Structure 1
Amino acid sequence: MIRPSDSPVNPRRDDSDIHIGIVTALPVEYAALEAFLDAVSDQTVRQDPHYYRSGSLPSKDPARPHHVVVALQTQDGTRGAASICTDMVRSFPGLRVLIMCGIAGGIPRPGDLQRDVRLGDVVVATGGIVDYGHVRRVEGVDSLRRPVSGISAALVRADRELQVMALGGNEPWHAHLEAAAIRHDRFRRPPAQADPLHKAWPVAQASADGPGLAGARDGVRRPRIWRGALGSSDILLRDAAFRDRLASEHNVIAVEMEGAGIAAAAETHDRHWFEVRGISDYCDNRTKTDAWHDYAALTASAYISSLLAVCPPFGSHVVATATTANGFQAIVDALLTLPIIMDDYQRRAVLAQLPGEIRAAVPDSVTARIHVVGLVRTCERIPGGRDALLEALKLTLGSTTADYERIETVIRQNWLEAS
């Protein structure tokens, strides 16, 4: 691994070449992630108060590593996460995806080996984020206000690739984790007795899920990967009863305090997000321990390193987008001049005229600009999307109206068909 001190020259990386932003909430998470980075350098940006470090991580193309920038929040929580992501996107406009890496509280289920999340395990938010603090309360009954969308399809595909490899007995992330723990003594796995529930975990059943997935070696339980939905809100949770109710109502596997902010910022700035967490506690005041913070942070970082290693570099499979940056903005701005687009109900009536495969792929939002950005981005990715959008507008506005003729001209002048 190359460190800044290892090289006399450490030039500032080209911002446009940095496609991945990684956010951490705690110093230990930041330090754990840095253990996996190559060619680390400090990054400062004028009029941006945050300190950044850039570096590289292996990609599926050995000749083209991922260039990443890492940030540490001033304070934990969804607001801090959204704020730092907004600044990061402004300072590094080439970012394509924002990743949250850190620790979380797991939801154990003793006796159910298929759902029993334990300390040191890793949770991956392939099932999305449940913003359980953003609710509608009617007569004492809470319901979630809206789903959180925008997860990175590229990283979901990479995670699926790691699943396939694991089923074949190949889990490279374990080797990365063990090597890093040896190099950095403070990140070593705590003894089994440091887990308050270790006696409830049957070592004899360790390999019931197949090679490596929950396997034990020399009587030591190996970290396991769990995939599903993560609960997120500005609640520092130490309440086992409430934790279990969240799991029952929303089918979440862990709880954290930043993911909803990361996803909101990503959606606002037309980026995607992903989240990986290491389990450091059980959200239970009776069993609360800080002994697992370092190791849990390292497990999350090790998994992200392995995840990106099977993901092609962003930009390597760029399909011609439907618009240039200026053209895209012109189309969005033109659509937002239409009263039927600014009104949430009428905008949804326009979307109802789209073909089902396009309509279902548009990220939902009650914010007009965010919704329109998702609409145009979706239409540009799907063959025939431009014509489908024009047809939906024609059916709603009427083909001979001045509004339709103006919008049609803007779209046709600024739309570059995908190849």
Structure 2
Amino acid sequence: MTRSEKIVVLTALSLEAAAVRAHLPGAQRHDLKPTGTIVEQAELAGTGFTICLVQTGPGIGQAAVVAERVIAWANPTAVIFVGIAGGLKTDIELGDVVAATEVQYYPGGKDTTERFYPRPETWHTAHRLTQVAQYVEAHASWRRFLQQDGTATLPEIHFKPVASGDVVKDTDASELAELLRTNYSAAAAIEMEAAGVARAAQHAGVELLVIRGISDRSDGTKQASDADGGQKRAAQHAAAFAIGVIAGLPAPDPGHGLGTASADTPQPAPVARPDWAVLSQAPALTWRSGLQRPYGTEPPTLEVHLVPVGTDARLPMAKVQAAWDELVTLGRGRGQFAQSEAVDGHSDAQGAVAFVRALRGSGNTGLALLRTGQRSTWEALPKTGPMTGTSIFDPRHLETRIAALLELVLAIDAPLPDRVVPVAAIEPAMLVTRSTVGAVHTGAVTIRPYDTPVRTEATESIGTDALQHCIEQVAEELAAQLDQAFDRPRR
């Protein structure tokens, strides 16, 4: 059976759907008849895949029914179930992600003193999807889809079984807890829908991957973990990894299935590397300090700009006037601005600037579109700890974030010129130390001794088509230039 270029992404809860939706700006609603199931569709930029996002509701039975319905309608290449789960292993931290190698069904029912009589049923997740997941985890390419949450800790990915049943486990002292330890000891997480989705995918002959963020430890501390934002954080991490996996899939070939294009199928020639060209003169560039009035207490901030080459990208005034609302919508949709945050900024004849500043200078995020066609975005660097004023300069982490910010500015709804100059900077750059994001900082750290900005040079342009295919290479180059500039003062 010929598969479509669609990938069905299922979630059970609204916060899980919201975490995926943040990566799908412009998704269109489609109501399935006669059932009324709502599908949100959007093409994931740069992949050729159309994502079909559906919220199933909680529980194995509900998830199975909705999954079967949506699979029959979409005839997808793959199904990915994304959401949160309770942890079952002490070496897996809250916020980490479990990509299920298999789904282990345990019987549903009440978790009482009566004994459970297990009837084990297991589904293995798709080998090809798991291979891609392992690849994007090893190369850290999925991290560019992570939303900044103000912490310096990066989630780890674990490839382990997941237990699935109709019981919310929140104690280690019960018959269910003992059942899991005795009969499902390999399971790293417990949740309530994957068994139903696995059964539906198996019946339809569709490849399945289950991705779960760990929101609590299922040991009686769930209420405290939820109150601390554990569910939202875990959902965002799972969604980011799922999107990273999809972005890592081979280009779709609807005639032959996922990543199995025939030898007779014409394939586009891959762009091997960015088509850099040295400029004889640097273009007019406005750094963040010229877009946003600086505060005396603002944190060290990473900024990324795409500056057009030539004048063909100059925007009409009507586009500039409408840009502020569009920037706010894009920022909220991509997680740059939280839904609850008030967005500040301005729109005038020079362009539109939208930004959010946290209280006491603890954060700073923004988006801008100038009439010249320049696109800009920025975000605060991660800190060494929640109570410190020192930010971290980590070149590898910068690569990931620059790639994500490049994707963000490319998503701004405005015409792109033929060529642009990508630049990046860190300003202010005084209270910054070289370190690794996620490392434990217990003693004094060495602070950069210069108060000058860390900036790349605006000396090379790249074709916008090449940029969209080589975002990671461009991000690597900009991060390397920042790395070189970090230890020397600007003259």
How far the C-alpha of 1:157 sits from its partner, in A, is: 1.7
Higher helix fraction (1 or 2): 1
The residue number in structure 2 matching 1:67 is 50
The residue number in structure 2 matching 1:99 is 80
Q: Is the 8 A contact 1:21 1:97 kept in 2?
A: yes
> What's the CA shift string for 1:300-357, capped at 9, x where partnerless?
0000111111111343654699xxxxxxxxxxxxxxxxxxxxxxxxxxxxxxxxxxxx
Is 2:100 aligned against 1:125? yes
Q: Is the 8 A contact 1:154 1:311 kept in 2?
A: no
1:144 pairs, out of 105, 119, 125, with 119
Q: Percent identity?
A: 25
Q: Is the 8 A contact 1:38 1:57 kept in 2?
A: no
Q: Is the 8 A contact 1:231 1:252 kept in 2?
A: yes
> What's the CA shift string for 1:12-48, capped at 9, x where partnerless?
xxxx844211111111111110111244111123213
Secondary structure of 2:188 counterpart: strand
Q: Give, in whole Å, the separation in 1 of the partners of 2:6 and 2:135.
A: 21
Q: Give, in whole Å, the separation in 1 of the partners of 2:123 and 2:7.
A: 20
Q: Is the 8 A contact 2:5 2:76 kept in 1?
A: yes
Letter in 1 for 2:63: A
Q: Give, in whole Å, the separation in 2 of the partners of 1:238 and 1:175.
A: 33
The residue number in structure 2 matching 1:269 is 204
The residue number in structure 2 matching 1:79 is 61
Q: Is the 8 A contact 2:143 2:244 kept in 1?
A: no
Distance 1:44 1:287, change over 3 A: closer
The residue number in structure 2 matching 1:158 is 132
Letter in 1 for 2:12: A
If the length of structure 1 is used for normalisation, what is the TM-score?
A: 0.54
The structure 1 segments of at least 4 consecutive aligned residues displaced by more than 6 Å after TM superposition are: none
Q: Give, in whole Å, the separation in 2 of the partners of 1:287 and 1:263.
A: 26
Letter in 1 for 2:66: I
> What's the CA shift string for 1:106-142, capped at 9, x where partnerless?
1242xxxxxx11111111002x01101179xxxx784
Distance 1:277 1:320, change over 3 A: closer
Distance 1:30 1:320, change over 3 A: closer
Q: Give, in whole Å, the separation in 2 of the partners of 1:266 and 1:280.
A: 25
> What's the CA shift string for 1:270-300, capped at 9, x where partnerless?
2221100111111122453312111111000
How far the C-alpha of 1:51 sits from its partner, in A, is: 1.0
The residue number in structure 1 matching 2:27 is 40
Secondary structure of 1:46 counterpart: coil
Structure 2 unaligned segments of length 5 or more: list them. 110-114, 263-491
| Length, aligned pairs only | 248
Letter in 2 for 1:21: V
Q: CA RMSD in A?
A: 2.8
Letter in 1 for 2:141: P
Structure 1 unaligned segments of length 5 or more: list them. 1-15, 110-115, 166-170, 182-187, 192-219, 322-419
Letter in 1 for 2:105: D
Q: Is the 8 A contact 1:105 1:256 kept in 2?
A: yes
The residue number in structure 2 matching 1:255 is 190
Q: Is the 8 A contact 1:108 1:117 kept in 2?
A: yes
Distance 1:84 1:122, change over 3 A: same
Q: Give, in whole Å, the separation in 1 of the partners of 2:36 and 2:122.
A: 31
The residue number in structure 2 matching 1:356 is none
Alignment of 1:125-274 (within 5 A): 125-126=100-101, 128-133=102-107, 142-149=117-124, 151-165=125-139, 171-177=140-146, 180-181=147-148, 188=149, 220-241=152-173, 242-243=176-177, 246-247=180-181, 249-250=183-184, 251-274=186-209
Indicate the structure whose relative CO is greater, using CA pairs within 8 Å and at least 6 residues apart.
Answer: 1
Q: Is the 8 A contact 2:5 2:48 kept in 1?
A: no
Q: Is the 8 A contact 1:235 1:257 kept in 2?
A: yes
Q: Give, in whole Å, the separation in 2 of the partners of 1:132 and 1:124.
A: 19
Q: Give, in whole Å, the separation in 1 of the partners of 2:230 and 2:82.
A: 15
